[in-house]
Structure formats: structure tokens, C-alpha cells
Structure 1
Amino acid sequence: MEKFTFPQKKLDSLFEDKQKEQQQTSTLPKPNFQKSLKLLDEAVSSPVYSQRFQQTPKSGILRNTSFTPKYASPIPGPRFDLSAIGGSPGGYGLQSDSMITNYMSQGHHSQLNSMLADDITTTNVSLLIEDDPGLAASSGVYRDFYECVKSNPSNMQVFELMSDCETVCTDQVLLLKKLVNRTTRNTQQKLKKTYDTLELLYSEKCTWQLLRSLYKDRLSDHDTPHEEKMVLDTPGKIDNKSDEMIIDELFEKTPWIRQAQLVIDWLESSSLDNLEMFSDNVRFFSDQAVAWENTLHELKGKKDGTITSTTRAFVDELDPDAPIRQNKSLDDLDKEDELRLLQHMFVCIRAGQLEKAQEVCRNCGQSWRAATLEGWRPFHDSNYQKLGEGGQVESVQGNQYRDIWKLVCWRMSQEGKFSQYEKGIYGIMSGNLGAVLPVCKTWQDYLWGYFKVMVDTQVEREVRMSTTSPRSFEDLPQEYWDRLMKPEQVFSEIEASLDEKVQRESRMWFNVIQKYIILGDIGSLIETMFTWIQADSKRLPQHLIRFMAHLVLVLRKITDIQHTDKANTILETYIEILIKNNNKQLVAFYVSNLPKKSQINWYAKFLEGIEDKSERQNVLRLAEDEDLDIPLITKTVVENIRQREGSAAAAASASGTEITDEDREKIEAIDWLVFDPKQRGEAVKQANAVMRSFIAVKKHEAAKEVFNKLPADTIDIIIRQQTQAGSEMLKPEVENAIREYMCIKAYLDAVDGFNDWFTFFHHAKPQKPDLTMGATFTDKVAYEHRIRQYETELERWRHNLTSQTKISKERIYNILLFTDGGWMVDKATDDTADDGRKVQMERLRELHIPGLCFNLHHMLHSTEMYADCLQLADYIASEQYRLYKEFSSEDLKTLLRHLQESSLKLLDKNKDPLGYELV
């Protein structure tokens, strides 16, 4: 029999989509996990994929869809059940299958591992297990996802992007499986993080599949608008419209039903991985393919008079209904085989492999049971529309009495003497959810059962309302029609399930994400992910945050994201992880996806932690490639570092003017602004600010290091840039910055000049030689020679001291008599000036002008330039310079006391108190 399919036009379109996906996959950048593979022994062979069975339609409304997994990978073991060794908080919402769990619990775990494991040397195993390599092996995923997004920048490439993301996860799952397949029970605890990472990546792979499948449909052009059309609308009745045509039209005109079927296909494809692993390990039929062969053997033995192994009454007929009709049992071995057969059949149906289930039945000698699964096919007689080639009558397809078949299946699913798996099989065929749920053990199983029944009831109602057949339909139980639900109702019921395990799984991360993707509720999805971030982002797995960040990027391409600020917070959390993990090459791209203000703040925060100059140039180049505002970012970096408060311990340990680590960071920060000559103006402003803070605490050496960070041609470059811009006048802020720069230069020169004088005056003066008591004639002659030499050196010292005093005096006066308003006073009026800067400059005048005056007086007084000391008083009192305003009352008292000492010295030299000659 042929499968029920889409119209040919749609199939051709889907085939073209698949070809495009395959072509795109071939261009995907090679995943960055080859380094991890090198740890494996060269003898390890590549995984061998099982031959997939062709996926068949599922129930009376199943269709071929655009969803086709790239290549699903069988997952070893009971979906990595780590219950014995614990797991990450929150869970991962994996598509685990209860049947596999049961099978593995029966002692077949070692058999499965031996089947999947490749050869590997003991040395490499020890190395891998010791280091828990899952984390290192998965570190390249961050780079792989970056390359995926970069290689698919256009909104038109969004489906290629999702496919590439899925491929990265699939490849990484294969790599991690190579590791976990070689573990023993004793070493599982060491690889716990590897197991957790594997589970996360597998769930992520499935989620990318779901997203791609649903939004390929949601964004595609259909003949009818995408507004939801209720099935209750009166359908148009066209003569000779078959069940298949009615179902086709329903799917075409009702997007939510069509997408519900895509969800079913996705769930079954995910479960297909389990089937491939499970089917090769289940053997329950004989070579002769005879049903109930043990019971048959017992019956033959009784007939022949042979002594049998039991005296229990078996069925004496072997038709399919005999056990129920006669209320007698089968042989125990047959009962066990029967249960395993039904379990396997359910696993096949759960994986969408109806034909495989029928094949298993035939292999067991139960062709009648395979036939019971055939009645779902919708009826279609193409001869009503047109005859075949040459006017030949085409064969009729499907089951014209599908309603009767469905009613019989319903009653079979209600039969109390059947096992729960047999009832589940016929329950899923007839839409009896109550019979299906008992054999559903996970959230994914429940979702599959609910969606199958939901779509089945919607289709059945449409067929009954739209058919033109004169035959009346058999009535289905009211319980069947009670399942006319919508996806929102389905999720509400699952979340309220009496099964605590299912309730718990419904709150798992990936299950919640998949729920909102299915519902198309992007606003709630963003809101929920933001809530997880806000609750405790430190405990969330980094791969989960990576996935959520890339999900936001993808959703921006295909939807209008609500809660933009919350979506940005998710991206910012991922950027923080990249910075923490030292993924320097990736940060710029993800920062570029934030709003302008956030771009500045986050990239500046990133740059603060980079100290190597070559790396600094590299990350700035990356920022330039992403069109980030480099001038504003580097300015922010310097301001952040400059305004950073040092630790109290560091401040306590620093003695006097010692340069601390915090000071060193501020000094080195200026380098960010000197890479680009266009930023020299900003470099001067920021350097001034840093030097102001150092000068305020008299860390002159630190201030000089900052000053030396600026190239010597800085001022010339600023003026040249202003000229090239077509303006002869500098901007007020630039002019004031240059003036402040010159003020600081004058101050540092003055400090150096005074320090040089002080050192020369106190430490370079030659010492007069002494003549010891009782010296001999020879000693006296030598002493006279030393005295002459001393006088020569003393004269040279006095000459040099005079020169040094003159230089130092000029440098200090350069500050005290600074032109155009005074030292650290702006000349140009700037309406945008920072008030804090103005206050700092005023404070620096108050701190240093009195001190410079005292130093100048000490220098002049020490060199007996007493008249010059009194002349200093004239400058301080002058209204032109108004230096006296910077003196406190205590400073003025101290200054007057010093001037008094100088006046007394003048009087001792027969001069008046002001230094003039007495007449």
C-alpha cells in the first residue's frame, strides 16, 4: 500500500528545501573539536550509523512534512541516566524512552557498550578520564557557533543558520559519545561534567530541529493567509471529495494543525534514535516465525500423549482471539515474548516507524496483528477526478470504513485483559488518550500522545463534517470528542499531570523552551529565559546560556522580539561568559548585537582586562570590523580604570608616593588612546585627568609616566587635525585640554627643577678637609693642597648652584606667573565643561601654589638671595596674579615668618628690610 502524502507540488518544494539544506551543510565551517579527537587512539574507528527505516505516516492524519533531521545519532544507554551519580540542577528535558530504560535495567548495558565502543588504548583512556575531557572537548563549540552566525549573516539565511547550529551540536554529541562509551561504572563520577554537557548538547540539537521545522512552515507562503481558521467553520462541500482530499485541505488552511503534525514528526524523529539502539538488542521471535510456538508445542504434546512440562490449562485454539474468548492463558515463555513484542511495537510507533512495527509482527508470525495497524489510511479514489494513463481505472487507496476500524481499535484499547502496551498501541491508533498515557513515561512521551490525539480528533471531525459520502459514520465515544483541544490546553494538562516525574520534567529548561517555540509565544519565551538569568545566572550551565543567546539572535531574524531589554540581558550574560572564558576573538561580534550604549559599556569592560599591547591592537581591530565606536569605547575604558577605587589594603601598604598596582593600571590605560592618532585630543584629556589625580597626592613619578605615554608630537597632531577639518580655531574643550597639558608640564618641570636643586645643594657640596692634631709637616703640606682643591671645587659648586638656582627659580615662576589667567585656569569658555574637572583644578592651585612659593623661598633663602625672597612677596600680593587667594591664613602666617627671616638677613648685610642699599 502507498503512503498518504502531501500533494506533489508541496513535495517538490520540500525536496528543493532539503537540497538547499544539504548544500549549506557542506559549507559549514569545520567544528573546532579536532584537538580533542587527537586524544583518542588512532585505532578508534568512526561511528557506524545504522540503516534508517523509512518513516511512515502516523495514524489517519499523518503526512510527509518538511521536517527531516540531518542525521540523528543513537544515544548510548538509558539516555545517560546519571541518577546514581547525581546531575545538574534543573534537568535537561531529554527525549528518554522508558522502554530502553527497562531493557537496560535487565542487564543488557554491557552488551550495548560492547557493541558501540571502539577500540582504544588503555593509556589514552586513563588520560581522558583523569582530566574529565568533556569540558575541554566542548570548548570549541563557542567558536563553532560564532562561525555559524558569521557565515549566515542575512535574514534570508536563517534556516541555514539553524541547520548549521544543529550540525555543530550533532558533531559535538558524537565526540562526547566517544568519551562516555569508554567509561566504566567506577569512572563515571569523574566524567560527570562530560555527561552533563552531552545531555545539554543533545537537547539543544533537538531544539534547533524543532525551531527550524516550525518556522520554515510559519514563514513560508501558503495559498491561504496564516490567520487561524477554526474547524467549526462551515466547509465548502464539493462532490466526490475523498477523505484524503479533506485532510489535505484541512492541513493547508489551518496552520496550527499543520504545525502540530510537525511537532509530532519532530518527537518521533527524536525517538528514532532510541529505536535504532533498541531494536538490534531485542530478539523475541523464533526462526520459524510461528506465533506462540511454546503454546503450540504444549498443545501438540498433549494431542500426541507426550508428557508436558505443566498441567495448567492452555488455550486449545490458536486464533488471535483465543486467549480472550476462552479466558485461558498462553505458555509463560509466549506471554513473555508477547509482552516484549508489544513493547517493541510501541517503541516503533513512538518513533514513527509503523511499517517497522508491522515488519516485526510478520517476523513473529503475527501477520494478523500487522494487518490491524493498516486501517488508519484515509480513503481516496482518484478516478473521480481523472482516470489514469490510457483511461485506465486507478486502484483505490486507503480504508473506506476507517470509522469502523477506529471504533474497533477504541474498544480494543479499553479491553481490560490486554496488556497496557497493547492498549497503548490501539489507543494511539484510535485517539484514546486514556489508554496511551499509562505507557508514556516522560514529558516528551506525554506531549507526543496528547498531540497525536489532538490532531486525530480535529481531523476526524473535519472528515465527518465535510464528507460527501452518503454513508453514515459510526459514532465514536463521547470521551473521544472531549479531546478537541488546542496546544495551549495540552501543555496546561501536561503540567498538571498526576505523574510527578512528568510535572518535574515540564519545568526543565529545554522542555520549557520547546513549549514556547511550539506555541509561538516568543514574548513568554524571552521572559522565562530572562527570569532564569536573573534568578541565578552563575548556576546555569554555560552551554545553556550560549544556546539562549544564539536563540535570541535567530529569533531576531524571524520574529519581532518583545521584551528587547530582557533579550539584550541574555546576550550580555553570554558576553560575560566569553570574557570570563578568555574567548577574545568572539566578544566583538556579540557586543555588536547590543544597543549602542551597551556596546560601549560591555566592550570597554572587556578591554579593561587586556594588558598585552599586541592583544590590545588585535581586539581593537576586531571591534573596528564590527563597526563598534572605538573612540568612545577606549575613552570609556580609560574613564572606568581612572575612576576605579583601589582596595583599602593596597592603599595601606603603599608608602608615601610609591606607585601601586592600581596606579600602574591607570598609567597603562592611556595606551588605549594613543593607537589611533585621531584620538590624541581625547588622549590628552584623559591623561590630564589621570595626572591631576597623581599630582593631588604628590605622586610625581606616576604623573611623569603618564605624561611620557603621550607621544612628543601630540599637540602638533591635534592642531594639524583641526586645520585639516577646516577650522582655524580650536574647540574650547580642546584648547583648555592643551592648556592644562602645558600647565602640568610646567609643574612637573618645576618639581624636577627644585628636586635637582635640593639634591645638588644638600648632597653635592664639597666637604672641607680636616687637619688632625699633631700633624707632621708632610701632613700639613698635603692638607694645604687639599684646601686649595676644596676651594676650587667649592667655587665650581657655587657657580653650578647659581645656575641650578636660576633654572629652578624660572621653572617655579613659570607656574606662579602662568600667562592668561594663571596656572590650572582655563582660558576658553566651555559650556560643556565638566564641573568636577574645574573643582579639581581649583583644588590643585590651593594645594601646590603655596607649596611652590615655600620651596622657592627656601631655595632663594638658602642661596642667600634674600632680596629675591622679598620680591616673591610682591608677586604673591599682586592683584595681577592674585596668588594670595590660594593661601590659607595659616599659610600666610608661615610665609610672613619666612619673609621676616629674609629681611633680618638683609639688615645684617647693611641693607633695608626690602633689600635696597642704605644711602
Structure 2
Amino acid sequence: METEEETSIKTFLEQGDVPQPRGEETAKTFKRRSNVNLQKSMQLLNDAVSPSLNRMTRTPRGGLRYLSSLDTSDISEALKFTPGKRQANVKHQPIRSPVPKEVPPYQTEFTEITQGGVELTEDMTLSNVTFIGDEDPGNKASRGLFEAFSNALRQSPASHQAMNLLQDYVAACEEQVNILQKLRRGIVRNQPKFNKTMTTYDVLKLEKETWTLFHCLYKDRLETEEKDNEFMEDDGEEENKTMVWALSEQNIVNRLFEKDSLVRQSQLVVDWLEMCSEENYYERQAKFYIEQPVAWENTLHNLQKQKRGVNSSLSRSITEMDPDAPCRQKLSLDDLDQEDEKYFLRNLFVLIRAGKLEKAQNLCQACGQPWRAATFEGWRLFHDSNYYSTTNLDDVRAIDGNPHRDIWKSVCWGLANEPSMDQYERAIYASLSGNLQAILPVCTSWLDYVWAYFKVMVDTKVEQEVRLLRTVDRKLDSLPEGFEEIELDPLRIFKDIAASIDENVRIQSENWYHLIQKYVILGDISALIEVMYNWIQTNRDSLPSHLLRLMAHVVLFLRSIGHACKEELCEAILLTFVEDLIKNKHRGIVAHYVSSLSPATQVQCYASFLEEIEDREEQQQCLQRAEEEGLDVALITKAVVERIRMRDDGPSFPENSLASDLVITEADKARINAIDWLVFDEAHRSEALKQANAIMRSFIVVKKHAAARQVFEKLPSDTIDVIYRQWHHKTGTGELPPSDSNAIREYLCMKAYLDAVESFNDWFSLFHKGQPAKPSAVEGKASFTDRVAFEHKMKQYNIEKERWMHNLLTQTKTTRDRIYNVLLFADGGWLTDTVEDPEAEEPRQHQMNQLRKLHLPGLCLNLHTVLHSSGLYPEAVQIADVVASELHRLYQNFDKESVQHLLAMISKSSACLLDENKDPLGKLEGKRSRGRQREKIMDGLATWLGPGKVSDILAAIKDRDLWRDMIANAYKQARHLMM
């Protein structure tokens, strides 16, 4: 026996006018829900058992409610489409594509995978992105973008190539965004390793949108500046237009877009915003389980059940199936249909927001609502081509557009204000009729708000123009109340958005990229440059490198088209970007961007960059790039050496003698190697010589002679010949300028000094360390063998000592000659310029004077040490004649202590001469007593050369004869003390 319920079901199924079940006797909504719940449960179980960080995303099979992957918290971020769209039948919109048509193919590979009836596009290879360990792949993948932008600048440097340049920028960003998007699909956002990947993806996506905006607006601005002036002159001819022309709304609006740049560019902004939204839209096609879809099938199912006498508990549902029934009857749909309708309307608005009106209409038809698709047609502008046809009058063409668009707009306005309707449905009709207050509730981002405001502004301008100029045989329906309450303009729009009640929108208004987009739309270049400069001043450390690159290229683009201003601020922006390139080691493109700076800044900026490069091959490459970019390589290399040379590492002044050398530090090595920058090119050899002299002076002043010698050896041996040859090739004369001539002389002085120091060091080492040790004598009664061995050792010792004496004498003479080469340097003395140079640097002159006073007395003392220690006492005493000579005037470099010290040393040599039966000046005098006689002579000299006689000595040393008399008197006084 069948139960009552089974009998009711059987009766219901036997009816021929009810929707037939598909496969099983379960309504598609219930089956879809159960399938989804089952899939969700299986997914949760799978995640609990084996969670995966890179699991492939699966698109659930289902019906209408899974039409979109849209997140209700942010509609605009879920939109994506391909650049280059524009509806062909939109008559009142200018046919201008704001996105370049030719975009290089993506460098990544994709594989189509079909699973569960849903097509999934997954990334199977990442050939362009390789990373190891903990390196963030997104950060590495985007590094190539800097070089891509640099190459684009090189390929399109001229002003007439500005649009091509913007196209290259968009294409470069597009390629990187697609690479990062592939990485993004397989990772989890909260993974620390991929944080930069996610951030970089968001940043580059915003940058691509920004460059697209630049392209679409500046293409129009640059191409139509002259045309706008022509239309301003033709405004007086508007009254001469015929009534036939004014019959077409299309003609009126086309004329408006041609003559009014504000309306035209505002429409371009709307196109750009829709394009940004379309690019974020991941399309999933809605599919029903029946061949002929029916709208609100669950509600229809319930009504049919009631019609057949089957009880239904849904008494609050509508009783009629016409589109206006829910609103007219104040009743609702079935709960499942309400849920489907909610997803359907939301997805429909997403398509409208992305400018995909035709796809929205197709979706309406696919979902069983063709009437709704028809409601989207009323906005089209009226145009009857028969009024303008000159062909056969019998050939009547169809009318384009809606002749009663005013009535349609009023109805849409009313629907947008209907409180009982879903907010997305209200927003759909509000966007078609210009009702701003009904659109904003569903806008959740800054881009959504800008789109809503600008779309309404363009709609208002178009409607005002049509009603002003169109002539019709009937009175147009009045505009809805509130349509013209607010006169919108771009500046006011952005002020209202910045003051929005939506906190998220207010925060996004301060986003770096949105602020740039704002000022580009407003055309306020001065404010744009100021705000970018303020970011550098206040948030330098927090600015991403990609943002700095965008800012720099914005400045360069504005320069190329002649729209740049506030050059000082632009310079600061470019300099900050160059510093960021140096910091992140983009060394191959630094020279290109440095060339965009002012000449003075170029030198210091590129010099600071080169200062940190140590590899010689890389140094040469950087100089070659600088020369290719037109930089002043000579000034730059000079600045590099000076910057390194002037580093303050606080060297301490040594107190020891010339024989001791200090340790060469890392800072010293950097100064020594700095000369390498100036020896790559022979044209810079003169500057290399001058800088080498300056570095040698800095080393010699602290007695780092080994370091000074290394600097000397850095210069090629043919340096002087090259300088003469270069100057002769340049001027045709062999007479060098004063600066070069003095530099060569200083170079020779340095060579003489370093040779003297090295020779003295060699003598010092030979005298104190090279002397052979005398063998110890045999003690007591030694055996014959021991005595023979001792005699052999003594014989060998005498031979070695004789050899040592010979070598010492030879080294003494060499050292004496080299020191005299310094003391008696030709043409004015050591470290003195022979050619007057009016442009001579005062610090250099001061340094050379100090070096003379510091080292010439020391050289005299060391010369005396060499001669006295070698027994050449007459020559040691003759040093006094050299110092007192007016020809060289060495005495001018002595202070009181130095003179007293030198005279005391010479007095010892004079005493030794007395011991050899000679006078104090080295002449033979016969035998003299020794012992006490010698002591008294020494005491007499010491008394005469005491502190009280210093002033007399300084006066006497200038006169050679007086000097000799002084020594003779000292000797006589010493003899008198002996008696």
C-alpha cells in the first residue's frame, strides 16, 4: 500500500508541465548543496590529514552561487581581464584604447587542466624564476624589471616616442605580474618566505595600472591640445548647425567628446577603471543542469506544487512569476532562489563594474532572465541614419539606440531608489542612470569610488548636453529629482572620496600609487612632484624600490614631453632612485640614470658609486658605461680619488726616525688603489700624477714611506712621456701648463726622497745587522785542533768583515749621494715649484712647505749619521757648509732645536778629527794629546754650543766663513781650557 506522501509525489511527477528532474529525483539546488557539502567535508579531512602548502586550487562544480570567486569584502580586487577591450556599439564613447595593442607574449608556460568539468589553468614550469633556500622568489624575479625599464628608456629616448615608452613600461610590468601571479597561486600568503612575493605582486600590479593610466590620458592630452584650441574657435558656429544634426543624440555626444577634453578624459578614466577591474576578474561560466534554464526554479516548483494541490509551507513566497512580482506583491522568493539571486546579482554587478555589459546580458539570458538583459539596452544613444543618407531613399535603415532614453533613465533611477530591492540590483541600475548614492553602498575600494563618481559625472555631462541641443517633436521626460543636485568635477570628487565614511576607502586614498593616479587624473603635475618629494623627505627608508623606480620614471617621462616642473625636486627624486640602485647593486644601469642628473650632481653621485667598487675589471666596465652615457669621466675619476684620499681615519704622527715605517692599514690600501681609476685612460694621466703626488704627500707626512712607494709604483713608468705627448697632441706645443709642469717636478722630488729613504734603510740594516760576528777566542790551554779551528774562523771572519766594510762603504756613498740629491735638488730645492701658477692650490703649497721643514732637517741628521758611522768625518763636518749655503738656503727649514741638534752631532765629528791629529775641519795638525785632551775639547764644544748660544748659532750658520770661525773658536776655547 502506498502512503499518502508517496501518492502525492507520484501524482506530482506525472504532471507534464513541471520541470523534469535530471538524473535523480532531487532538485538541482539540493543536489548541488549536498555535493558542495560533501566536497567541503572531504577537503577539510584531506587538509587535516596532510596539509599542503602548494596544493592546486580546485574550482568547485556547482551552479549559480559559485559563479564567481569574488570576496564580498572587496569587489574591485576580484576583477581581471585582458587589455584592449571596448564595446563597438558604444557610440558616445571615443574609440581610443588606453592600453597598448601589442604586448610581448608572456615568458611563462601554462598547461590547461580539466577536472570535474571545470577548466583550471595551472603553472607547470617556472623557467624564468629560479631560487634556492630561503631566498624570496618574488623579490628575485622582479629584479629584472629595473633593467627592462632602463632598456625601454634607451630604445625610446625622443619626445615623439613617449607613448611607445609607456607601452614598454606597461608590457614590462605585465610580464613581471604574470610571473609573480604564477608564484602566487601556489603559496600561502602568511608564509614568511613569500611575504615579499605577495607584496611585490601587489605593488607591481598597482604600478602597471598606473602606467596604463599615464598612457591613456597623456596620449589624448598630447594628441588633442591643438584640436581643443580649434574647437574653441569654432564655438561660434554652433548656432549654424542644422536641425537635422541635432536630431541625433550620437552626433551631439560625439561632438561633446571632441570639443570637451574634461568629458573625454573623464570617460578615459572610466575606461581605465573598468579595465583595471576586468584584469582582476577570474571568469567562471555559470552552468545549469538543464538545457533551457529557468529563473527562480525553486519558487516556480513551489507554485506548481500549489497549483496541483500539493501543500507548501512557503506561504510568504510570491504567487506570480513575472519579474516585478517580488516588488509588487511585497513578497520574497524561495530561500534557495534568494541565495542564487544574491550571487547572480553580485556577479552581474561585477561584470558591469568591469565594463563587460555584453557578458552581463549573456549571463542574464543564460540564467533565464532575458528580460533583465533587455533592461540594459535602454542607455544606448538614439541615431537615425536615414536623416543623413544620400543613397536610395527607398532603402530605409533601422534606427540605432533608444528614442525614449529619457523615460528609460527615469525608470532606472526609480529602480535604483527602490528600498525593497537587493543593493547590487539597485547599484546596477544606478550605474546605468547616474544615481551616485545607490552605487556607493556596494563600492568597497578607492578604485570603485573613483569609478562611481566619474561614471556619474560623465553621465551627467552627456545628459545635459543632449537636453541642451537635441530637437525632438515631443517634450522630454524631466530628469529625476536629485540628478543635478551636485555639480561634480575631478577635484571635488577626490576630496569627497578622501572624506568618505568608509574607513578602508579613506586609508586607500593615502596609498602611494593611488595618490599618483589621483594627480595624473587631475593633471596637477606640480602637486604630483611635490608629494613625491615629500615622501622622500619623510619616509625615505620605507619607500619600496619599485615605487622609487616608478617615481623616477614619472619624472623622466614628464621631462621628455616638456611637462616637468620644480626641477630641484625632480633632481632630488632622481638622485634618491640612483642611490637606491647603488644600494641594491643594480650596477649595470646606474650610469644611465646618473646621466639624467645635473652635471655637478653627476660627478659626485657617480663618484660615490665607483668609490665602493674594488674589482679592477668591474671598475673598467663602469667607466666604459659612464663614457657611453656621456658623463665626464675625467671629473668623475678625479672625484673618486679625492673622496678616497680625503677619508679621515685619524692617522697618528710618528715619533720615530726615518728608519722605522708604519703598518699599512686597509684605509691606506684603499688610497693606494684609488690611483687605478686614473690610469685606465691615458687622457687622465696628468690628473693621475697630481692625485698620486697628493696621496704620497699624505703618506710621507706620517712617514709611511712603504705606502708612498706603492703609490709611486702605481703610476706607469711612461707617465711623464704620456703627459707631454697628450699635451702636444692637444695644443701642438711642448710647453706644459704650470700645473702639469709643477706636478712633474713634485713627482721627481718624491722619487728622489723615496730613493734616499730606501737607501738609508738599506745602510742602516747593513750597518747594524750585516756586520759579521767576531769568533770568541780560545780560553786556557787549547788543543792544537782548537787553535787551528780558531785561526780558520778568524781568517774567515776577516774576509767577511773586509767584504762587509767594502759593501758598507759602497752603500754609504750611494746613500750619501741620494740624500744630497734631495738636499741639493736642482732649480730651487726639494718640493718647490719652479713655474708660477696663478691657480695653484693653497693647501698643496702649505703641505709642501711643511714637508720641507719636517724632513730636510731629518735628512741632514741621517746623512751625518751615515758619514760619521762610516768614519767619513770631514764629509760629516761639511754638512754645516751645505746647511749654511745661501744657494740652497736649507737653514730656512731648521728650527732652533734642529740647529742645536745638528751642531752637537757635527761637534762629535770634529772631536773625532782631533783624535786623528787634524783640526776640527779635517786638516792635519800633528800629534795631539789624547785622553784628557779629548775630554776637554768635547767639554769646550758643549759649553760653546749650550742653550745660551743658540741665537748666535742661528745667526752664524747663514755665513759659511762665520761658521768656520765658530768651529775654530770653539776649538781654541777648548784648548785654552786644557791649559
Q: Specify the TM-score bucket, using the shorter chain as the normaliser.
A: 0.7 to 0.9
Q: Deviations over 1:34-70 (max 9, x none)?
A: xxxxxx99xxxxxxx9899964379895443232465
CA contact (8 A) 1:235 1:466 kept: no
Q: Which residue pairs with 1:796 in the alignment?
A: 803
CA contact (8 A) 2:99 2:167 kept: no
Q: Which residue pairs with 1:378 in the alignment?
A: 381
1:260-275 alignment, distance < 5 Å: 260-275=266-281
Say yes or no: does 1:67 pair with 2:98.
yes
Alignment CA distance shift 1:72-1:918 (3 Å): closer
CA contact (8 A) 1:816 1:849 kept: yes
Say yes or no: does 1:570 pair with 2:580.
no
Alignment CA distance shift 1:132-1:792 (3 Å): closer
Following superposition, the deviation at residue 650 of structure 1 comes to 15
Q: Deviations over 1:98-122 (max 9, x none)?
A: xxxxxxxxxxxx999993434579x
CA contact (8 A) 1:387 1:394 kept: no
Q: Which residue pairs with 1:716 in the alignment?
A: 721
CA contact (8 A) 1:592 1:628 kept: yes
Determine which of 401, 414, 417 is the counterpart of 2:420.
417
Q: Which residue pairs with 2:672 in the alignment?
A: 667
Aligned counterparts of 2:734 and 2:133: Cα–Cα separation in 1: 71
Aligned counterparts of 1:61 and 1:184: Cα–Cα separation in 2: 45
CA contact (8 A) 1:290 1:364 kept: yes
Alignment CA distance shift 1:523-1:514 (3 Å): same
Aligned counterparts of 1:263 and 1:637: Cα–Cα separation in 2: 48
State the secondary structure of the residue aligned to 1:484.
coil
AA aligned opposite 2:821: N
1:743-782 alignment, distance < 5 Å: 743-774=749-780, 775-782=782-789
State the secondary structure of the residue aligned to 1:317.
coil
User: Alignment length, in residue pairs?
Assistant: 830
AA aligned opposite 1:630: V
Q: What are structure 1's unaligned runs of at least 5 residues?
A: 1-39, 42-48, 76-109
State the secondary structure of the residue aligned to 1:537.
helix
Aligned counterparts of 2:270 and 2:289: Cα–Cα separation in 1: 30
Alignment CA distance shift 1:662-1:391 (3 Å): farther
Q: What percentage of residue pairs aligned between the two structures are identical?
A: 48
Say yes or no: does 1:496 pair with 2:489.
no
Alignment CA distance shift 1:649-1:752 (3 Å): closer
Determine which of 672, 679, 682 is the counterpart of 2:684.
679
Alignment CA distance shift 1:112-1:740 (3 Å): farther
Aligned counterparts of 2:97 and 2:193: Cα–Cα separation in 1: 41
Q: Which residue pairs with 2:10 in the alignment?
A: none
Following superposition, the deviation at residue 388 of structure 1 comes to 4.4
Alignment CA distance shift 1:841-1:222 (3 Å): closer
Aligned counterparts of 1:477 and 1:556: Cα–Cα separation in 2: 47
Determine which of 854, 858, 862 is the counterpart of 1:847.
854
Say yes or no: does 1:728 pair with 2:731.
no
State the secondary structure of the residue aligned to 1:825.
coil
Q: Which residue pairs with 1:56 in the alignment?
A: 87
CA contact (8 A) 1:314 1:330 kept: yes
CA contact (8 A) 1:453 1:483 kept: no
Residues 703-712 or 293-302, more deviating: 293-302
Q: Which residue pairs with 1:900 in the alignment?
A: 907
Say yes or no: does 1:134 pair with 2:138.
yes
AA aligned opposite 2:307: K
Aligned counterparts of 2:556 and 2:888: Cα–Cα separation in 1: 63
AA aligned opposite 2:367: C
Say yes or no: does 1:886 pair with 2:890.
no
State the secondary structure of the residue aligned to 2:280.
helix
State the secondary structure of the residue aligned to 1:115.
strand
Determine which of 209, 214, 221 is the counterpart of 1:211.
214
1:452-531 alignment, distance < 5 Å: 452-531=455-534
Following superposition, the deviation at residue 734 of structure 1 comes to 0.3
Q: Which residue pairs with 1:536 in the alignment?
A: 539
Aligned counterparts of 2:565 and 2:218: Cα–Cα separation in 1: 17
Alignment CA distance shift 1:232-1:454 (3 Å): farther
AA aligned opposite 1:703: A
Q: TM-score if structure 2 supplies the norm length?
A: 0.80
AA aligned opposite 1:67: P
Q: Which residue pairs with 2:242 in the alignment?
A: 238
State the secondary structure of the residue aligned to 1:219.
helix
Aligned counterparts of 2:413 and 2:921: Cα–Cα separation in 1: 123
1:22-37 alignment, distance < 5 Å: none
Determine which of 361, 364, 368 is the counterpart of 1:365.
368
CA contact (8 A) 2:778 2:790 kept: no
CA contact (8 A) 1:413 1:426 kept: yes
CA contact (8 A) 2:81 2:275 kept: no
Q: Which residue pairs with 2:933 in the alignment?
A: none
AA aligned opposite 1:140: G
Determine which of 635, 639, 642 is the counterpart of 2:642.
639
Alignment CA distance shift 1:294-1:60 (3 Å): farther
Say yes or no: does 1:256 pair with 2:259.
no
Determine which of 643, 658, 662 is the counterpart of 1:657.
662
1:38-437 alignment, distance < 5 Å: 55-56=86-87, 61-68=92-99, 70=101, 115-119=120-124, 131-184=135-188, 188-221=191-224, 224-226=227-229, 235-236=238-239, 237-240=241-244, 241=246, 242-275=248-281, 277-280=282-285, 287-308=291-312, 310-388=313-391, 392-437=395-440
CA contact (8 A) 1:230 1:254 kept: no
Alignment CA distance shift 1:500-1:228 (3 Å): farther
Q: Which residue pairs with 1:85 in the alignment?
A: none
State the secondary structure of the residue aligned to 1:627.
coil
1:606-617 alignment, distance < 5 Å: 606-617=609-620
Alignment CA distance shift 1:894-1:58 (3 Å): farther
Determine which of 915, 919, 922 is the counterpart of 1:912.
919
Residues 831-840 or 175-184, more deviating: 175-184
Following superposition, the deviation at residue 405 of structure 1 comes to 1.3
Q: TM-score if structure 1 supplies the norm length?
A: 0.85
Following superposition, the deviation at residue 601 of structure 1 comes to 1.3
Following superposition, the deviation at residue 452 of structure 1 comes to 0.3
CA contact (8 A) 2:661 2:705 kept: no
AA aligned opposite 1:65: R
CA contact (8 A) 2:689 2:744 kept: yes
Following superposition, the deviation at residue 697 of structure 1 comes to 0.8
Aligned counterparts of 1:666 and 1:389: Cα–Cα separation in 2: 91
Aligned counterparts of 1:223 and 1:879: Cα–Cα separation in 2: 84
Alignment CA distance shift 1:286-1:646 (3 Å): farther
Residues 508-517 or 541-550, more deviating: 541-550
Say yes or no: does 1:628 pair with 2:600.
no
Aligned counterparts of 2:191 and 2:804: Cα–Cα separation in 1: 83
AA aligned opposite 1:449: A
State the secondary structure of the residue aligned to 1:117.
strand
Following superposition, the deviation at residue 683 of structure 1 comes to 0.7
CA contact (8 A) 1:238 1:468 kept: no
CA contact (8 A) 2:83 2:275 kept: no
AA aligned opposite 2:298: N
CA contact (8 A) 2:686 2:723 kept: yes
Alignment CA distance shift 1:154-1:609 (3 Å): same
Q: Which residue pairs with 1:101 in the alignment?
A: none
Which fold has the larger relative contact order, with Cα–Cα distance below 8 Å and residues 6 or more apart in sequence? 1
AA aligned opposite 1:171: E
CA contact (8 A) 1:58 1:352 kept: no
Q: Deviations over 1:551-599 (max 9, x none)?
A: 2222221232112222222222222222223222211111112111121
Aligned counterparts of 2:709 and 2:299: Cα–Cα separation in 1: 101
Alignment CA distance shift 1:222-1:753 (3 Å): closer
Q: What are structure 2's unaligned runs of at least 5 residues?
A: 1-53, 56-79, 107-114, 655-659, 927-979
Aligned counterparts of 2:490 and 2:669: Cα–Cα separation in 1: 61
Aligned counterparts of 2:320 and 2:762: Cα–Cα separation in 1: 120
Q: Which residue pairs with 2:704 in the alignment?
A: 699
Following superposition, the deviation at residue 229 of structure 1 comes to 6.5
State the secondary structure of the residue aligned to 1:538.
helix
AA aligned opposite 2:169: C
Residues 284-293 or 248-257, more deviating: 284-293
Determine which of 814, 824, 844 is the counterpart of 1:817.
824
